Amino acid sequence: MKNLEIRFARDNDCAGLEKLDKKAHKEIKWWEHQNRREFEKIIRSNNFLTLVAEDNGLIAGYLQATLKFDSSALWIEDIYVDKKYRRKGVTSRLLDKFTDHWKGKKKSIVLITSDKNVKIFDKIGFTKRANYMVYKP
Ligand SMILES: CC(C)(COP(=O)(O)OP(=O)(O)OC[C@H]1O[C@@H](n2cnc3c(N)ncnc32)[C@H](O)[C@@H]1OP(=O)(O)O)[C@@H](O)C(=O)NCCC(=O)NCCS
């Protein structure tokens, strides 16, 4: 983990992101899989921000947020870390980079996650506020 780099995603990360996202979809039943083309669109758009954690050319994890420039809050929709990199501080480092980037520019950062992760994000400094429910028409 000595060489782990946290940085903004680039076009040539899309294949690695797609591969990792497939693992997320397999592990978590509600995870909506994004393919390479969707990642490309997102990375090029001003409405999203994607950070990656790269370890010797491999994408170990990523964070994706929606940026609504007219809103005082930022929404982190996805954070996923490859199983073999978990509990090594990858998420903490992704969130450090994200929060540093937005320091003083936004009032709050909202993270969408499941109940089982509340303790993890509590440790990183988030506070549980509300429930998020989904209805599929
Ligand atoms: C949730 C998830 C993103 C955490 O990533 P991670 O890189 O392993 O987290 P970190 O190593 O940075 O750990 C952050 C803190 O939580 C703790 N933690 C991490 N996983 C934990 C677990 N399974 N049980 C208890 N504590 C845990 C760590 O010890 C650390 O606390 P510390 O700073 O006091 O040591 C990762 O488990 C994951 O990808 N899960 C599947 C996807 C998911 O549910 N994403 C959620 C957001 S959409």
CATH number for the domain spanning 114: value is 3.40.630.30
Whether 81 lines ligand 1, by a CB cut-off of 6 Å, is yes
130 occurs within a structural domain: no
| Residue at 29 is within a domain | yes
Tell me the CA–centroid distance for residue 27 and ligand 1, in Å: 15
Is residue 129 in a domain? no
Would you state the pLDDT for residue 100? Answer: 94
Residue 52 lies in a domain: yes
Q: What's the gap in Å between 84 CA and the centre of ligand 1?
A: 12
Number of domains in the chain: 1
Ligand 1 close to Cβ of residue 113 (< 6 A): yes
Instruction: Report CA-CA distances (Å) from 60 to 55, 117, 133.
Output: 6, 19, 29
pLDDT in tens, 17-33: 999 999 999 999 889 99
SS3 letters across 35-93: CHHHHHHHHHCCCEEEEEEEECCEEEEEEEEECCCCCCEEEEEEEEECHHHCCCCHHHH
Ligand 1 centroid, distance to 127 Cα (angstroms): 15
For the stretch 49-93, pLDDT in tens is: 999 999 999 999 999 999 887 788 899 999 999 999 999 999 999
Q: Is 29 in the pocket of ligand 1 (CB under 6 A)?
A: no
| Gap from CA of 137 to ligand 1 centroid (Å) | 32
| Model confidence, pTM | 0.94
